[in-house]
Amino acid sequence: MVIGVVVIALIATLAASEVLVRGVGRLARNLGLLGGFVGLIVALCADAPEISSSVSALANGSAATAAGVVFGSNVFNIAVLLGGAALAAGTVRIPLAALLLDGCVAILVTLSISLVVLGDLPVPVGLLLMVLVFAPYVVFLILRTSTIALLPLPDRLSRLLVSASREAGVEGMELETEIEDLNPTGESHSWRPVVFMVPALVVIVAGAIFMVQGAVTLGERWGVASVLVGVVALAAATSLPNAYAAIRLGLDGRGAAVVSATFNSNTLNLIAGIAVPIILFPALRGSVPPGYVVWLLSMSIGALILLAGGLNRRRAILLLAAYAGFVAYAVLTA
């Protein structure tokens, strides 16, 4: 009975997530939002199952499950989104400027929030560091490339940011095109997909509640640690829409969009799933083993290095093997 509820909740949540992403894509197109900012919003909506599951677990009194969902999902994203896209398409490439910007922001946000979760940084200090990294990044995505070129910055930094801004715009347009391909033809300016955004969000939240409660119940029944329920089962299950989208983008030759979506997804998971809730739920501090943090940071930096030279199938296998090692580590240490 419980397994059936969990499966139904998972299917409903994943389907609603797809509806939400389509609605956001149409809203962005109708409002004429800039491409880079569109990519960030789409990543946030695609993360709705993970974030909802994390918050639901917190409300259910299981901080270990909540943190496990976020950290497990982020490790899954690095391995399966990037590795899966490379295996499907043969290679994933991204201009170095865009890679450095997206990747470094994700790694710095991961480091600041992880230190807070581990108890090595006071919450206000960690959140301030996060804001100092993420807020300029959001401003960068909102500004037009022509405006960034006029900023009084050193020449090398200016060239880097201008190049990254152009690529962010291209990535956003690629994501919009992918989303529009999923919508019915002949409705390129219709507001119908937008109307379904709120009902989809309601379904995602409700599905996450049932899914988390069912998973926690099964974990207690089978003697599985709460953190393991989150870091393996819920994390992988709620990240499936992202994996499917990444493989689809990779097959269409949009590797840069895959990379941007992966790193942005991880950044937003940590902000919405950990940084904001930790203000009200201090139990998140110390809720995950230090090994999870080390594994996530190592895989993020490793992916950055592999992508700098072009992520091919052979290198993708390294990422997937690293994820298998992470799962084994989680099981052995739970």
Q: In this structure, are residues 94 and 255 in contact, taking their beta carbons and an 8 Å threshold?
A: yes
Would you say residue 231 has pLDDT above 70?
Answer: yes
CATH number of the domain that residue 159 is part of:
1.20.1420.30
The pLDDT assigned to 325 comes to 94
56 three-class SS? helix
The mean pLDDT of 295-314, rounded to a whole number, is 94
pLDDT digits (tens, 9 = 90+) for 264-286: 999 999 999 999 999 989 999 99
The pLDDT assigned to 297 comes to 96
Q: How does residue 189 score in pLDDT terms, banded at 50, 70 and 90? A: low
The pLDDT assigned to 34 comes to 56
Would you say residue 90 has pLDDT above 80?
Answer: yes
| Domain range enclosing 220 | 2-333
Q: Which residues of 29-67 are buried (b: 16+ CB within 10 A; e: fewer)?
A: beeebbbbbbbbbbbbbbbbbbbbbbbbbbeeebbbbbb
Q: In this structure, are residues 58 and 305 in contact, taking their beta carbons and an 8 Å threshold?
A: no
312 three-class SS? strand
The mean pLDDT of 128-146, rounded to a whole number, is 91
Q: In this structure, are residues 251 and 89 in contact, taking their beta carbons and an 8 Å threshold?
A: yes
Interstrand relation of 91-92 and 311-312 (parallel, antiparallel or unpaired): antiparallel
Q: How does residue 176 score in pLDDT terms, banded at 50, 70 and 90? A: low
The mean pLDDT of 44-59, rounded to a whole number, is 82
The pLDDT assigned to 179 comes to 63
Q: What is the pLDDT of the chain when averaged over all its residues?
A: 84
The pLDDT assigned to 5 comes to 81
The pLDDT assigned to 278 comes to 94
- Who wins on pLDDT, 185 or 29? 29
The pLDDT assigned to 160 comes to 87
Would you say residue 65 has pLDDT above 90?
Answer: no
34 three-class SS? coil
Lowest mean pLDDT among 128-132, 215-219, 330-334: 215-219
Q: Which residues of 280-297 are buried (b: 16+ CB within 10 A; e: fewer)?
A: ebebbbebbbeebbebbe
Return d(Cα 113, Cα 106) in angstroms, integer: 11
> Into how many domains does the chain fold?
1
Would you say residue 191 has pLDDT above 70?
Answer: yes
